[in-house]
Structure 1
Amino acid sequence: MINVLFFAQVRELLGQSALAVEASESTVTAEDLRAQLAAKDDKWGKVLAADKLLVAVNQTISSWDTPVEDGDEVAFFPPVTGG
């Protein structure tokens, strides 16, 4: 299983903070996982649009082509700004 975490506005809009996703042969990158989740329905597709998210794999900010595998933790969160 891949442990998926949602933070900040992503968590609020989806109404959940985490879920477990079965690792599969078609889920090989963070982008594959994002696309799989975004395909659940229109709301998930809008919230998980790649241009509105950052991704971390195993607590390291990552690119969308970062490999993911069984046992990994993948977190999705909006870009953060400060000042």
Structure 2
Amino acid sequence: MGAMVVKEKLVHIQYFAILREARGKTEEDIQTTAATAQELYKELKNKFGFQIFQDSLRVCVNDEFCDWQTGLKEGDRIVFIPPVAGG
């Protein structure tokens, strides 16, 4: 059996509220080997020092709320939505 090849993919990420403030931008394209939304958030959290825990966020892939185990593919649009206080 051969070694499994992990392929990079380009995904588009939008940031809102506290994540936008932490990242300093509203959106960007990122190359990632993450297979799921959960893996991608862990990668971004480690890379950019996000302080918010995954269980406080909702995730959307291609404009639909989804599970953290949702698989990612080239060109996907991902949004991590933090809780927002209104007033």
Q: Does 1:35 align with 2:42?
A: yes
**Residue ranges of structure 2 left out of the alignment (5+ in a row):** 1-9
Q: Is the CA contact 2:32–2:40 (under 8 Å) kept in the aligned structure 1?
A: no
Which structure's CA Rg is the greater one?
A: 2
| Deviation (angstroms), 1:81 | 7.1
Moved beyond 6 Å, runs of 4+ = none
Greater share of helix residues, 1 or 2? 1
Q: Distance in 2 between matches of 1:12 and 1:81?
A: 15
| Residue equivalent to 2:30 | 21
SS in 1 for 2:32: coil
What whole-Å deviation, never above 9, does each CA across 1:33-73 have from its counterpart, x for those lacking one?
Answer: 001101114x32x13x2022111000001110011111100
- 1:16 and 1:60 map into 2 onto residues whose CA distance is 22
Q: Which residue of 1 aligns with 2:4?
A: none
8 A Cα contact 2:13 2:77, kept in partner: yes
Residue deviations 1:15-49, cap 9 Å, x none?
2111211132xx110001001101114x32x13x2
The percent identity for this pair of structures is: 31
| Count of residue correspondences | 78
RMSD: 2.0
Consecutive unaligned residues in structure 1, runs of 5 or more: none
Aligned residue number for residue 74 of structure 2: 70
Tell me the TM-score normalised to structure 2 length: 0.76
